[in-house]
């Protein structure tokens, strides 16, 4: 046993440790929200690829505790090692498993590289052994690198065609500065597509379908982001955007396959911009989110990942629900973010924001707190002066 007092160790957009009690408190909050807005039954089994943090964790919690599903999460998380804490995702899933057992429900975890054939085979074997067929396959994988045998690809956050210059906030010194990002090469565009496009989502769905592990009417959903015009050059019109276009094309093809074989369907769900481990690493986005939070909180329309996914299930994916989509067939949970009045206010603040007025006209404090909460720090109700056991296991 190795109890210790844990203080956050943060470098820029990376937190090097996690707090197990804080992570557990976060999961408890998500469970309470899921239970409050759902019937507690209606789904049989759900697989979440990338189910340990952010939107993936919220999807697992909503399905299991809101709709009674048997949940399986695939993730790549670091276990505790000696005096070093586990990753936040590890502690999140340990807490979710514990709460599931207490409620007579089931959460299984496959820990490894979701891109790999080995982990796909391991997941298929575990699902076969359990005897379940999946009602939902949720794809929420956000990884910087993909390895396949001797080949590897790394995603990049770059514009296309010309350099991109914009305001951004340095998470290390909290200064608002101008950044310039060089355009991507063709090889970088393709590498980003390999990591963040639709190829792996399709590989998962096809492997599960071929193994006869998808239930009649199975729904497959991959998460994406569009964002506002402010971030288009670095996001939707950049390398990530090209990858997301590939994801959308692939999802349309998967939907046709699922419809023909199982009477099912596949969708891309475009979610709201929020503080996640992935979004914190994207230039420009932390500053935009800080301004967005200020405006949406004032308007009473702000949602976190748990609220977003509870709404996704309640309005679109829950039993008896038919997803409402845009002209491209996408579910749009970013509807409140992209409301014209909200974006007009954000754009006006963007023109004004500087280092000197950052704390006054943006909710940078909220961004910073939400970032720390991802790793179990600054969570209300947790006594950080008390030592906690870091050697927490996952079944």
Q: Which of the residues are catalytic?
A: 235
Written as six digits, the tokens of 41 are 């039954």
17-46 CB burial, b ≥16 within 10 A, e <16? bbbbbbbbbbbbbbbebbbebbeeebbebb
Q: Which residues contact 217 (CB under 8 A, 6 or more apart)?
A: 135, 262, 263, 264
* Contact in structure between 144 and 195 (CB atoms under 8 Å): yes
In whole angstroms, give the CA distance from residue 384 to residue 377: 8
* Contact in structure between 218 and 134 (CB atoms under 8 Å): yes
Beta strands in the chain (DSSP E): 3-4, 10-11, 14-15, 45-49, 70-75, 107-111, 134-139, 145-148, 151-154, 164-169, 176-181, 214-224, 265-270, 331-332, 388-389
* Contact in structure between 218 and 136 (CB atoms under 8 Å): yes
């Amino acid at each position: 046993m190795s109890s210790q007092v844990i203080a956050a160790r943060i470098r820029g957009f990376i937190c090097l440790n996690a707090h197990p009690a804080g992570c557990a408190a976060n999961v408890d909050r998500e469970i309470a929200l899921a239970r409050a807005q759902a019937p507690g039954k209606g789904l049989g089994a759900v697989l979440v690829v990338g189910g340990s943090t952010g939107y993936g964790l919220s999807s697992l919690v909503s399905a299991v505790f809101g709709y009674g599903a048997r949940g399986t999460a695939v993730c790549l998380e670091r276990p505790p090692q000696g005096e070093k804490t586990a990753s936040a995702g590890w502690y999140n899933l340990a807490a979710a498993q514990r709460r599931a057992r207490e409620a007579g429900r089931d959460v299984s975890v496959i820990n490894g590289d979701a891109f790999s054939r080995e982990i796909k085979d391991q997941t298929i074997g575990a699902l076969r052994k359990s005897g379940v067929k999946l009602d939902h396959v949720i794809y929420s994988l956000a990884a910087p690198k993909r390895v396949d045998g001797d080949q590897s690809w790394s995603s990049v956050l770059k514009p296309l065609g010309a350099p991109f210059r914009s305001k951004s906030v340095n998470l290390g010194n909290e200064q608002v500065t101008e950044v310039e990002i060089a355009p991507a090469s063709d090889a970088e565009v393709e590498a980003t597509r390999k990591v963040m496009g639709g190829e792996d989502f399709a590989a998962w769905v096809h492997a599960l379908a071929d193994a006869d592990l998808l239930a009649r009417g199975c729904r497959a959903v991959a998460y994406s982001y569009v964002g506002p015009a402010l971030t288009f050059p670095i996001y939707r019109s950049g390398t990530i955007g090209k990858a997301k276009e590939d994801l959308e094309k692939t999802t349309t093809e998967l939907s046709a396959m699922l419809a023909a074989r199982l009477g099912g369907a596949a969708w891309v769900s475009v979610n709201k911009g929020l503080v996640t481990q992935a979004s914190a690493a994207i230039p420009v986005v932390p500053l935009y989110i800080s301004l967005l939070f200020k405006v949406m909180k004032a308007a009473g329309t702000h949602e976190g990942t748990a609220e977003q996914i509870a709404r996704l299930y309640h309005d679109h994916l829950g039993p008896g629900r038919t997803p409402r989509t845009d002209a491209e067939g996408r579910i749009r949970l970013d509807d409140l973010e992209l409301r014209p009045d909200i974006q007009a206010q954000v754009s006006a603040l963007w023109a004004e924001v500087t280092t000197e007025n950052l704390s006054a006209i943006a909710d940078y404090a909220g961004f910073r707190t939400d970032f720390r909460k991802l790793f179990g720090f600054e969570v209300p109700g947790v006594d950080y002066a008390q030592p906690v056991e870091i050697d927490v296991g996952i079944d």
